[in-house]
């Protein structure tokens, strides 16, 4: 399958000089030692108006970044998992408000933590079942082990239910997860956690095949995403890049290498919430499929109405995430932002305090990667780097301004 066609920015309603402001912006972060490298692509009307990269793929070795670099997309795996599940929804395999326990019995009767004190955790039965919509929307009550320091999050880590690469099969991890209480009653709050990983296991249950195989057959192969996978093939090692973390002085420290990476061997858990590796070319295909209403290169992955429904705010009373609980770690801000089926959705740009369009939907990853689709402007944007955590710098807010200020038509 051929790559996305290129076009001059002016021919698709963008100003070249203004779009070129992306280059010094990326350079400032790289030259200051805040990012190892940065790569940005801007697509409008199905044509690439801008794509460039700067920096070092391997800081220690001095190896320059290349456009075909294979990197960790972490939570940018989540929209891919959501699309996989929505394919089965289109086939009538489930309804969004079906109890998850109808398909995964271990999750049928959950307990909820109500008090945690010196005597431990006290629980009560969940007020209602977890629904499949709860999994898509992060309202199930699941959390992450790294998101707090209380007993429940500690148990997530101790019992390996964060769906890490070597945690076991999805069925095994979900089985262990079912033994722990929920952080809150289903539907009561929005809590970023392992819900999408559970959704990946639901895809296995409904399709009858392993999650990695399902994705390859139904999304990656049709879209020509030949460099997207859970475990790095040996013949891609030369393009695989290290991941860095921020130091106290805003510097860089290696946190996951290449040969010894947790993504390089013995991957047993196909984490739909954060386990995929990909490239700019591959993720652009996925993003442009969404921009195109579910189709790319003659292949239809989802129906147009399904993509529109995915990008609709599913929070109660069309509220933003501030109405759904206290802000905690996630890949989005809360004010002015709702949540759809696996993606954040802009409902009030002024409240979000960012130059964005109502209806824009997006997500990002722990290594500071990001993407968004702007239906109003018929635009898709992908940004890649490898810096943990994702909130070190206002990259996503700044990038939106830089892209949107270049629009002239």
Is 222 a domain residue? no
Report whether pLDDT(199) > 70: yes
What are the b/e assignments for 307-326, b being 16+ CB within 10 Å? bebbbbbbbeeeebbeebee
Name which of 27, 26, 397, 29 is nearest 246 in CA terms: 29
Name which residue leads in pLDDT, 325 or 92: 92
The pLDDT score that the predictor gives to residue 122 is 92
Is 27 a domain residue? yes
Is 23 a domain residue? yes
Considering 161, 186, 211, which residue would you say is the last residue of a domain?
211
The pLDDT score that the predictor gives to residue 119 is 75
CA dist., res. 293 & res. 304, Å (int): 5
Q: In which element (H, E) is residue 172 found?
A: helix 170-177
| Count of domains forming the chain | 2
CA dist., res. 231 & res. 221, Å (int): 16
| CATH code, 168 | 3.40.710.10
In the predicted model, what is the mean pLDDT of residues 281-290? 99
Provide the percentage of residues in the chain whose pLDDT is more than 90.
91
Give the mean pLDDT of the chain: 96
The pLDDT score that the predictor gives to residue 254 is 96
- CB neighbourhood size of 40 (10 A): 24
Is 1 a domain residue? no
pLDDT tens-digit map of 218-272: 999 999 999 999 999 999 999 999 999 999 888 899 999 999 999 999 999 999 9
Q: Is the same domain home to 104 and 196?
A: yes
CA dist., res. 64 & res. 126, Å (int): 52
CA dist., res. 96 & res. 139, Å (int): 13
The pLDDT score that the predictor gives to residue 148 is 72
The pLDDT score that the predictor gives to residue 277 is 99
Is 166 a domain residue? yes
Name which of 283, 253, 247, 266 is nearest 365 in CA terms: 283
Q: Is the same domain home to 254 and 384?
A: yes
DSSP E strand boundaries for 91-220 = 111-117, 120-125
The answer to whether 345 and 311 have CB atoms below 8 angstroms apart is yes
Is 30 a domain residue? yes
Q: Is the same domain home to 275 and 207?
A: no
CA dist., res. 285 & res. 291, Å (int): 10
User: HSE (CB half, 13 Å, CA atoms) of 400?
Assistant: 21
The pLDDT score that the predictor gives to residue 253 is 96
CA dist., res. 29 & res. 277, Å (int): 23
Q: Is the same domain home to 253 and 396?
A: yes
Q: Is the same domain home to 249 and 202?
A: no
Q: Is the same domain home to 251 and 317?
A: yes
**What's 309's DSSP letter?**
H
Name which of 147, 174, 148 is nearest 160 in CA terms: 174
The answer to whether 202 and 93 have CB atoms below 8 angstroms apart is no
Q: Is the same domain home to 283 and 234?
A: yes
Is 151 a domain residue? yes
pTM over 0.85: yes
Considering 177, 211, 245, which residue would you say is the last residue of a domain?
211
- CB neighbourhood size of 111 (10 A): 17
Q: Is the same domain home to 258 and 186?
A: no
pLDDT tens-digit map of 52-86: 999 999 999 999 999 999 999 999 999 999 999 99
CA dist., res. 169 & res. 205, Å (int): 13
Q: Is the same domain home to 34 and 166?
A: no
pLDDT tens-digit map of 319-360: 999 999 777 767 888 999 999 999 999 999 999 999 999 999
Name which of 393, 328, 323, 403 is nearest 362 in CA terms: 403
Report whether pLDDT(1) > 70: no
Quote the distance between the C-alpha of residue 188 and its chain's center: 23
Q: Give the model's confidence band at 115: pLDDT under 50 very low, under 70 low, under 90 confident, else very high.
A: confident
Report whether pLDDT(146) > 70: yes
Q: Is the same domain home to 392 and 286?
A: yes
Is 267 a domain residue? yes
Rg from Cα positions in the chain: 20
* Residue 265, domain extent: 9-76+227-405
**What's 167's DSSP letter?**
S
The pLDDT score that the predictor gives to residue 150 is 85
Q: Is the same domain home to 155 and 94?
A: yes
Cis peptide before 140 (omega within 30 of 0): no
Q: Is the same domain home to 239 and 388?
A: yes
Considering 211, 245, 262, which residue would you say is the last residue of a domain?
211
């Amino acid at each position: 399958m051929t790559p996305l066609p290129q076009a001059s920015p002016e021919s698709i309603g963008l100003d070249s000089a203004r779009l070129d402001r992306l280059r010094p912006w990326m350079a400032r972060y790289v030259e200051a030692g805040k990012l190892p490298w940065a790569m940005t692509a801007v697509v409008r009307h199905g044509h690439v108006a801008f794509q460039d990269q700067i920096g070092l793929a391997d800081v220690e070795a001095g190896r320059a970044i290349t456009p075909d670099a294979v990197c960790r997309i972490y939570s940018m795996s989540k929209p891919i998992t959501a699309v996989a599940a929505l394919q089965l929804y289109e086939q009538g395999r489930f309804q969004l408000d079906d109890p998850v326990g109808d398909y995964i019995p271990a999750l049928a009767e959950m307990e909820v933590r109500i008090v945690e004190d010196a005597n431990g955790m006290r629980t009560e039965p969940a007020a209602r079942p977890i629904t499949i919509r709860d999994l898509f929307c992060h309202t199930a009550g699941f959390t992450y082990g790294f998101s707090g320091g209380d007993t429940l999050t500690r148990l997530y880590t101790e019992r390996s239910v964060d769906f890490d690469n070597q945690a076991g099969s999805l069925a095994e991890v979900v089985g262990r997860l079912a033994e722990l209480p929920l952080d809150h009653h289903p539907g009561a709050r929005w809590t970023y956690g392992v819900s999408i990983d559970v959704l990946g296991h639901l895809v296995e249950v409904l399709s009858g095949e392993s999650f990695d195989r399902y994705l390859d057959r139904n999304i990656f192969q049709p879209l020509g995403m030949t460099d997207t996978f859970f475990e790095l093939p040996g013949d891609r090692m030369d393009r695989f890049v290290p991941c860095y973390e921020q130091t106290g002085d805003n510097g860089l420290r290696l946190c996951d290498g290449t040969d010894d990476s947790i993504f390089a061997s013995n991957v047993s858990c196909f984490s739909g919430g954060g386990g995929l590796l990909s490239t700019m070319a591959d993720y652009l295909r996925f993003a442009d499929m969404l921009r195109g209403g579910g189709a790319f290169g003659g292949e239809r992955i989802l129906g147009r109405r399904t993509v529109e429904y995915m990008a609709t705010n599913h929070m109660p009373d069309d509220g933003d995430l501030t109405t759904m609980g206290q802000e905690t770690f996630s890949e989005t801000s809360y004010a002015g932002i709702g949540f759809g089926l696996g993606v954040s959705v802009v409902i009030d740009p002024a409240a979000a305090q960012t130059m964005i369009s109502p209806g824009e939907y997006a997500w990002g990853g722990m290594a500071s990667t990001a993407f968004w689709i702007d239906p109003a402007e018929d635009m898709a944007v992908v940004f890649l780097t490898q810096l943990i955590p994702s909130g070190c710098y206002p990259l996503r807010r700044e990038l939106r301004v830089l892209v949107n200020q270049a629009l002239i038509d």
